[in-house]
A and B are shown apart, each in its own frame.
Chain A
Amino acid sequence: MPRIVVDVMPKPEILDPQGKAIAGALPRIGLTGFAGVRQGKRFELTVDGEVTDELLEQARHAAATLLSNPVIEDVTRVEVLEEDDQ
């Protein structure tokens, strides 16, 4: 079934404590090449049938009202995934 993917990231100006903790753990597994980590969220909205423009609009609405909080987060992607996409 087709999916609509929504990515949400913490706003650039908001400190991301979780990303910071992950960045601190990377050297512990020997990976020292990364300057920073920011952690976001990915949602997959599964559609029963075809993804219509209306459904895509509803996904955008969900992204802006429920899936993200505009005070601390940005919606960075709302996109239809084809069947074989990951």
Chain B
Amino acid sequence: MSIETPLIGGPQPLASDDGSSPLDGVTVGVVTFPGTLDDRDAARAVRLAGGSAVQLWHGDHDLQGVDAVIIPGGFSYGDYLRAGAISRFAPLMEQITAAASGGADALPVLGICNGFQVLTEAHLLPGSMIKNNSLHFLCRDQRLRVENAGTSWTSEYAEGEELVIPLKNQDGQFVADNRTLDELEGEGRVVFRYVDGNPNGSRRDIAGISNAAGNVVGLMPHPEHAVEAGFGPDSSARGAVDVRGGTDGLGIFTSVLKKLVG
């Protein structure tokens, strides 16, 4: 008998009386590159939201039929050259880029932190990230505002709703030329904005953006670290919480699962 604790997969809280669930067979792939750090947390967040996570290796050519993909945070390839620059050419990224580019019904893809950097390098999202204007590595709980609740990854929030989730990075300053920024604002593709102070100099306080179809979203802060009471931030935008009781990030993962079963 094995007493292995499954890292990926696990119980599905949305099960109905007969044990079946609308989420049966719905899988979210979590990509691991050499140097990825938060793949386990992202897989755990998917599971806590009621879904099943599938581990994907960057060197594979097969998306294993997953219904959505998360590119998690970390330092893929040690951030060599530029953050995300080498990962962008991984064999699996070709599959993801092709599957994510088909319009509103295309594969939902979420890039968190280094994953966001990979998505900009892959041209799935515009702009780029440079070093924080303070030059410091920042690690703190960050308040954000949801500016667009119409994407595949934000439908469980209300527009204007705020959330507190951890931010931890060195290259977090989002930059793009003014024309691109105007376009993002005009098309409602600024998905998250920093509130209570801009931590890193990002243009127009932008913390996260989407592609035109809304299926690809990237953000610098980490929703997967705010999904379970006891392991989250000490604060929440919804009011006082116990120490490490913040779970404001869970809605990102329930949003995509709702979309997939809807």
Q: A27-35, A52-60, A63-71, A75-83: which one contacts chain B?
A: A63-71
A66 to B122, CA, bound (A): 11
- Cross-chain contact A17 with B135 (CB below 8 angstroms): yes
Q: Is the CB of A15 within 8 A of B201?
A: yes
CB-CB under 8 A for A67 and B81, given A15-B133, A21-B135, A72-B130:
yes
| Alpha-carbon distance A52/B212, docked complex (angstroms) | 42
**CB of A14 within 8 A of chain B?**
yes
Question: Are A17 and B130 in contact, CB atoms less than 8 angstroms apart?
Answer: yes
Q: How far is the CA of A27 from the CA of B86 in the complex (A)?
A: 36
Asked if B131 and A71 sit within 8 Å, CB to CB, the answer is no
Residue among B85, B131, B175 making CB contact with A18, cutoff 8 Å:
B131
A55 vs B188: C-alpha distance in the bound complex, in angstroms?
44
Given A14-B175, A15-B201: A69 and B135 within 8 A (CB)? no
Q: How many contacting A-B pairs (Cβ < 8 A)? A: 36
Number of interface residues of B (CB under 8 A): 20
**Size class of A's contact patch?**
10 to 19
The contact of A66 among B89, B126, B128, B177, by CB within 8 Å, is B89
CA distance A13 to B128 in the complex (A): 14
Contacts A21-B135, A67-B81 known; A14 to B89 CB distance under 8 Å? no
* Extra A-B contacts (15), CB below 8 Å, given A13-B177, A20-B135, A72-B128: A10-B130, A15-B133, A15-B201, A17-B130, A17-B132, A17-B135, A17-B173, A18-B131, A21-B135, A66-B85, A69-B121, A69-B128, A71-B120, A71-B175, A72-B130
**9 pairs of residues in contact across A and B, judged by CB atoms under 8 Å:** A17-B133, A21-B135, A66-B81, A66-B85, A66-B86, A66-B89, A69-B85, A71-B126, A72-B128
Q: Which residues of B contact A (CB under 8 A)?
A: 81-82, 85-86, 89, 120-121, 126-128, 130-133, 135, 173, 175-177, 201
